[in-house]
Amino acid sequence: MAAAKSMTKSQILDHLSKKTGSTKKFAGEFLDELNALAYKEAKKSFVIPGLGKLLVVNRKKRMGRNPSTGQTMVIPAKKVLKFRIAKAAKDAVL
């Protein structure tokens, strides 16, 4: 059984333009602007209502293990980007 393929950007733009009665170019500009805004605001957390929240999380330093040698090592602290799915999205999909 083959896995279903995800939509391409072109397919998404085509769908959005048909649903909103706008052009693919306008839909593309809107999507690009939404992405740019999300990247800029992610440090403070960026919420897309009904979909989820994009935020930066600080990970603490921790101990880990090198899988090839089995040697323990320290994994340094770092910042990571996370997306928390909204309850409405979970309920709609699952």
What does each of the 94 residues of the chain score in pLDDT, given as a tens digit?
Answer: 556 789 999 999 999 999 999 999 999 999 999 999 999 999 999 999 999 999 999 999 999 999 999 899 999 999 999 999 999 999 999 9
Q: Where are the domains of the chain?
A: 8-41, 46-94
User: What is the three-class DSSP state of 43?
Assistant: coil
Stated as kind and residue range, the H or E segment containing 61 is none
CATH no. of 46-94: 4.10.520.10
Q: Is the model's pTM score more than 0.95? A: no
Q: What pLDDT does residue 2 have?
A: 55
Q: What angle do CA 50, 55, 56 make, to 5 degrees?
A: 170
